Structure 1
C-alpha cells in the first residue's frame, strides 16, 4: 500500500460511512475495479489519508497529456459501468441499503481528485460532495460610452469592404459550416439505394491473443513450434528472434485499424471488441465520429495476451447489431482459429440464418484458413496478407462498405 495524498484538515464526517462503502466494494468487485477508489485512513493527527495498493507513481489527471487523459477517462467509465450493473443486481436482490451506498459513487469523476497509476484510474476523496458554485455577483453598471461619429469613407469603398468581410467570414467559418451541414444532412452512402435508409451498423473485432506478438511473416508452423517450445530453456533463440522479429502482427493491426478509422464515413458509429483470453470478450463500446480520437488512443494501448476467443467475440458483435431490417458489417482482424474450444463455423451459420443482412469480412493475417467459414457463411470476404503493406490494404478493402472513399458500380 502507498499513501497517495492526505487532506489539509482533520475529517469532520463519520469514517464508518466510508468504511461501509469500501467493504461493499471489496466484497463484490475484483481488485481491478475495487482499486478505482482509494482507501481512507485516519492519521495520527486526525487528518484523513488516502491509500492505494496500486504500484507505481501516482500522477494527477491535469498533469497527463491529452491522449492519456482520454484513455484514463475511458477506463474510468468502464469501471463505472461495472458499478452501475452491480447496483441493479443488488436492487433486484432486495439489498436496497447496499445499492444506495454504491449509487452515491456513480457519476463523473471529480478531475481534481483523479489520479493515474500506470494507466489505472484512482479516485481520492470520492465521498465528498461536488463543490457548490457561488452565486454570480451582479456586475457593476458599465457606463454607456459616448457615441462616436462614423469615420467618413468614400461611398465606392463600402461595397469592397463588405465583400472583404464576407470573404473572411467564409474563410474562417467554412469548416464549421461544413460540419454543421454534414450533421444536419448526412451524405448518402454510395451503396444505399434507399435515400431514407439508416446507415449500416459497423463493428470491428480485433484479435488480441498472445499470437499477435509474433512476426507478421511467421507461418502457421512457426506459430505451432513457438508455443510448443516457449517454456523450454534450451529453445532455439535464433528461431525465436526470427519468429518474433518486427513488424509483429499487433503493430500491423494497430496501424491498419487507425488508418481504417480515419477513412470511415463521417456518419458511421464504430463498435470495438477485443479478446480477453478465453473469458468474456471486451466490448469497448460504440464510438461516434466525434469519439474517434479516443478510439484510436485505445487501439494504441492494447497489449496482446492469452487465448483466442474467436467464437465468443463474433457472437458478441453480432448480438449488438440488427442484421434483419438494417444492413451491418463486421470486420474481424484475426490470425487463426478459435482457441477456446468453441465452434466458430456454427456461430457464423446461426448468424446467417437469424441476421441475413449482417455480413462479416475477415482479415486473416496468418493465412490460416480455419476461420474462413465466417465469411463464407455470412456472404463476406476473406482478405489475407503476409506483410504490413498487404494487411493494411486488406483491411481497407474489408471495411470498404462503410468507408468515406467507397464508390459502388
Structure 2
C-alpha cells in the first residue's frame, strides 16, 4: 500500500468523517459482488489524530500521477472517463439490487449512495496508478453547484404617455381649422408690364495685323569622329610541355564477401511452439492474477454479469497480443528450420498440428491467428493441458544428435491434473540433452518456470503488452537466422 495524497479539512464535517469510517465495510460489499478494479477506484482514507488531516492510500503498485488541466491530462481523463462512469453506475445498480433483496441495511445503502456522490465533490482528485484511475478527496467536499441561467428583469411599463393623447387630439383639431375653415384674404393684383427688349449694338471688330516672326535656322552640331585605338598585343608565356609518366599497374581488388546461411543436411535445429489457447488467455493484460482469482471465485457462485466478463476481457487481452507477437517473430526464424505447433485449448489433451516448412510460414501465421478458445458454456473444454502439450512437443524433436528448441507461450500452470510438469521436464532433459525450452510467462503465473530451469532454458516474464512483445523476441533469439560471410 502506498500513500498518494494528503488532504486537510477546512471545516469540521462530521457527516464526511462518518462516511469515511464505513470505508472497509463498503469495500467488502463491493468486492463481493463487483470486480476488484471497482473497489480500487476509491483511495483508502486515513484520518489523522488532529481530526482534520486525511491521508489517502492505494493498494495499486506504480507511480501515481495526478491528472491536471493540461491538454495531455484532459485527453487521458477523457479516455478513462467511460470506465469511471461504468464503475460508479455499477455501484449504484448494486445498491438498488441489494436494497430490494434486503441484503444490506438502510445505513449501508445510504453510505453507498454517498460514496457514489462523493466521487463528484469539488475536493475529489483523479490519479492514475498503473493505468488505473484512483479517486482521492471523495466524500469530504460539496457537490458542484450548477449555475442557472440569469433571469431577465421585467421592464416597468410607463403610463405617462397616455396623458398626451388628449393634447395631440386638440392639436389636430386646431390644424384642421387653420388650414380647412379659415378663409384667406385676397391680395390685389399688380399691373402687368411688358418687358422691354433692348436691341444689341453692333460692334466693329478691328483685327491688328502682326508682322511675321523672323525664321531662325537650327545650328548643326559638329560630329567628332572617335579615334580608333590600336589593339594591344598580349604576349603569352611559353607553355612548358609536361613529361608523360608511365601508367602504374592496377592492384587487383579484393573479392567481395559472399554471405549465406551455413547449414548441413540433417543438422538443422528443430523447433516447436506450444501456444496456450485456453480461456484464461482472454483476460486483459491490465488485470493481475489476484483480480483474476477473485473473478473466478465470483464466477463459480454465479455472481458475475455480462458486463463483468466484458471488462475482465477488455483490450489488450493476452491472446490477441500473443497472436500478433508470434506472427511477427515467425519470419525471423531461420529459413532452414521447420516449425511445429502444439495447441493448449482445453483438457484432457493438447492438439498437435504438426510441422510447417519454411514455404508454409504464411499458413502457420494464419493458423495461429484463427485460434479461438472453447466457449464459456462448454464445461468440458476448460483448463490448460500443459503436461500433455510438453509430452507431444518433446516427441517431435530429436534432441540427441540435433539441437532442439521449444517455445512455451502460456499464462498458467497445468490444470488437467494428468501429471507433474516439473518431473516430466527433468526426464526430457536426461533423455534429450540437446533440447532447450524457453518459457514466456504471461502475467507472472510461474506455472512452467521449472520446465525452463530443468532443460537449461530461460524464463521471460511479461506483465504488459510491450513486455510480452520484447520477451517473445528475446526467447527466439537462439534460433533466429544468422548469415555467415566468407
263, 272, 283: which one aligns with 1:214: 283
431, 454, 465: which one aligns with 1:354: 431
Note the C-alpha offset of 1:351: 0.5
Note the C-alpha offset of 1:405: 5.6
Note the C-alpha offset of 1:226: 2.1
Does the C-alpha gap of structure 1 residues 186 and 277 become closer, same or farther in structure 2, counting only changes over 3 Å? farther
* Aligned pairs for 1:133-282 within 5 A: 187-188=261-262, 198-235=267-304, 240-282=309-351
Q: Distance in 1 between matches of 2:483 and 2:445?
A: 28
Q: Distance in 1 between matches of 2:483 and 2:332?
A: 10
* Aligned pairs for 1:248-397 within 5 A: 248-305=317-374, 306-341=382-417, 342-397=419-474
Q: State whether residues 262 and 483 of structure 2, in contact with CA within 8 Å, keep that contact through their aligned partners in structure 1.
A: no
Does the C-alpha gap of structure 1 residues 263 and 199 become closer, same or farther in structure 2, counting only changes over 3 Å? same
- The Cα offsets for residues 338-359 of structure 1, whole Å up to 9 and x where unpaired, read as 1111211011011011111100
Q: Distance in 2 between matches of 1:237 and 1:286?
A: 39
Q: State whether residues 443 and 461 of structure 2, in contact with CA within 8 Å, keep that contact through their aligned partners in structure 1.
A: yes
1:401 aligned residue: 478
Q: State whether residues 222 and 243 of structure 1, in contact with CA within 8 Å, keep that contact through their aligned partners in structure 2.
A: no
Q: Distance in 2 between matches of 1:295 and 1:236?
A: 36
- The Cα offsets for residues 249-305 of structure 1, whole Å up to 9 and x where unpaired, read as 110110011011111111111000102311221111100011011111111110023
The alignment covers a number of residue pairs equal to 219
Q: Distance in 1 between matches of 2:287 and 2:439?
A: 19
1:103 aligned residue: none
Q: Distance in 1 between matches of 2:409 and 2:325?
A: 10
- The Cα offsets for residues 224-267 of structure 1, whole Å up to 9 and x where unpaired, read as 12222225443377764543221111101100110111111111
- TM-score between the two structures when normalised by the length of structure 1: 0.50
- The Cα offsets for residues 313-343 of structure 1, whole Å up to 9 and x where unpaired, read as 0111001111111110000001011111121
Query: What SS does the aligned partner of 1:352 have?
Result: helix
Query: What SS does the aligned partner of 2:407 have?
Result: strand
Q: Distance in 1 between matches of 2:411 and 2:429?
A: 22
Q: Which runs of 5+ in 2 are unaligned?
A: 1-257, 375-381
Does the C-alpha gap of structure 1 residues 282 and 186 become closer, same or farther in structure 2, counting only changes over 3 Å? farther
Does the C-alpha gap of structure 1 residues 237 and 316 become closer, same or farther in structure 2, counting only changes over 3 Å? same
Query: What SS does the aligned partner of 2:444 have?
Result: coil
Q: Distance in 1 between matches of 2:396 and 2:265?
A: 22
Spell out structure 1 runs of 4+ moving beyond 3 A: 231-234, 236-242
Larger Rg, first or second structure (1 or 2) = 2
- TM-score between the two structures when normalised by the length of structure 2: 0.43
